[in-house]
Protein backbone atom coordinates (compact mmCIF):
# COMPACT_ATOMS: atom_id res chain seq x y z
CA UNK A 1 0.00 0.00 0.00
CA UNK A 2 1.19 3.51 -0.75
CA UNK A 3 0.92 6.25 1.88
CA UNK A 4 2.16 9.83 1.98
CA UNK A 5 3.93 11.76 4.72
CA UNK A 6 1.31 14.23 5.93
CA UNK A 7 2.09 16.33 8.98
CA UNK A 8 0.08 19.31 10.22
CA UNK A 9 3.12 21.59 10.07
CA UNK A 10 4.33 20.17 6.71
CA UNK A 11 7.49 18.97 8.42
CA UNK A 12 9.34 15.72 7.98
CA UNK A 13 8.79 12.51 9.97
CA UNK A 14 11.38 10.28 11.57
CA UNK A 15 12.11 6.82 10.24
CA UNK A 16 12.99 4.89 13.39
CA UNK A 17 14.87 1.64 13.97
CA UNK A 18 12.03 0.16 16.04
CA UNK A 19 8.51 0.93 17.23
CA UNK A 20 9.49 3.33 19.98
CA UNK A 21 9.74 7.13 20.09
CA UNK A 22 13.08 6.71 21.83
CA UNK A 23 14.59 4.36 19.23
CA UNK A 24 17.38 5.46 16.89
CA UNK A 25 16.38 7.80 14.04
CA UNK A 26 17.52 6.28 10.72
CA UNK A 27 16.35 9.14 8.48
CA UNK A 28 13.98 12.08 8.23
CA UNK A 29 11.37 11.74 5.51
CA UNK A 30 10.09 14.99 3.93
CA UNK A 31 6.45 16.05 3.83
CA UNK A 32 4.58 14.67 0.83
CA UNK A 33 6.95 11.74 0.23
CA UNK A 34 5.26 8.61 -1.10
CA UNK A 35 6.12 5.50 0.89
CA UNK A 36 5.40 1.82 0.32
CA UNK A 37 4.03 0.50 3.58
CA UNK A 38 4.83 -3.12 4.46
CA UNK A 39 2.91 -3.27 7.73
CA UNK A 40 0.55 -0.89 9.49
CA UNK A 41 -1.24 -0.71 12.83
CA UNK A 42 -2.82 2.14 14.75
CA UNK A 43 0.53 3.42 16.06
CA UNK A 44 3.40 2.36 13.78
CA UNK A 45 3.92 1.57 10.10
CA UNK A 46 6.86 -0.33 8.65
CA UNK A 47 8.37 1.20 5.53
CA UNK A 48 11.60 1.89 3.70
CA UNK A 49 13.28 5.14 2.70
CA UNK A 50 16.62 5.72 0.93
CA UNK A 51 17.62 2.08 1.34
CA UNK A 52 16.79 1.95 5.06
CA UNK A 53 13.91 -0.03 6.56
CA UNK A 54 12.24 1.16 9.73
CA UNK A 55 9.09 2.51 11.32
CA UNK A 56 7.14 5.78 11.18
CA UNK A 57 4.21 6.83 13.32
CA UNK A 58 1.00 6.00 11.46
CA UNK A 59 -0.65 9.29 12.49
CA UNK A 60 1.77 11.12 10.15
CA UNK A 61 0.68 9.18 7.06
CA UNK A 62 -2.28 9.60 4.76
CA UNK A 63 -3.59 7.48 1.93
CA UNK A 64 -3.99 10.55 -0.27
CA UNK A 65 -1.21 12.64 -1.74
CA UNK A 66 -0.25 15.60 0.39
CA UNK A 67 -1.21 18.85 -1.32
CA UNK A 68 1.45 21.53 -1.47
CA UNK A 69 1.17 25.25 -2.14
CA UNK A 70 2.73 24.62 -5.56
CA UNK A 71 0.03 22.04 -6.35
CA UNK A 72 -2.69 24.52 -5.39
CA UNK A 73 -1.10 27.24 -7.53
CA UNK A 74 -1.12 24.93 -10.56
CA UNK A 75 -4.81 24.12 -10.05
CA UNK A 76 -5.61 27.83 -9.60
CA UNK A 77 -3.73 28.80 -12.78
CA UNK A 78 -5.48 26.10 -14.78
CA UNK A 79 -8.92 27.08 -13.50
CA UNK A 80 -8.22 30.76 -14.14
CA UNK A 81 -7.38 30.05 -17.80
CA UNK A 82 -10.50 27.94 -18.16
CA UNK A 83 -12.70 30.68 -16.68
CA UNK A 84 -11.13 33.30 -18.95
CA UNK A 85 -11.90 31.12 -21.97
CA UNK A 86 -15.51 30.64 -20.85
CA UNK A 87 -15.92 34.40 -20.29
CA UNK A 88 -14.70 35.09 -23.87
CA UNK A 89 -17.19 32.56 -25.25
CA UNK A 90 -20.07 34.06 -23.29
CA UNK A 91 -19.38 37.66 -24.43
pLDDT in tens, 55-91: 999 999 998 776 667 777 888 888 899 999 999 999 8
* Model-wide pTM > 0.95: no
End-to-end Cα distance, the chain: 49
The DSSP secondary-structure symbol of 58 reads G
The contacts of residue 32 (CB under 8 Å, 6+ apart) are 4, 5, 6, 65, 66, 68
Contact yes or no for 5/32 (Cβ under 8 A): yes
Between CA 27 and CA 25 the distance in angstroms is 6
The whole-number pLDDT of residue 77 equals 87
Contact yes or no for 33/5 (Cβ under 8 A): yes
* Sheet with 52-57, side-by-side order of all strands: 25-29, 13-16, 52-57, 44-49, 34-40, 2-5, 61-62
The whole-number pLDDT of residue 67 equals 65
The whole-number pLDDT of residue 72 equals 72
pLDDT in tens, 35-61: 999 999 989 999 999 999 999 999 999
Q: Top-level CATH class of 2-66?
A: mainly beta
Q: What is the mean pLDDT of residues 4-12?
A: 90
The whole-number pLDDT of residue 11 equals 92
Amino acid sequence: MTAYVSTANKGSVNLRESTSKSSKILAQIPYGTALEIEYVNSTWSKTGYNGKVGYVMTEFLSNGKAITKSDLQQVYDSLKKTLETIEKILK
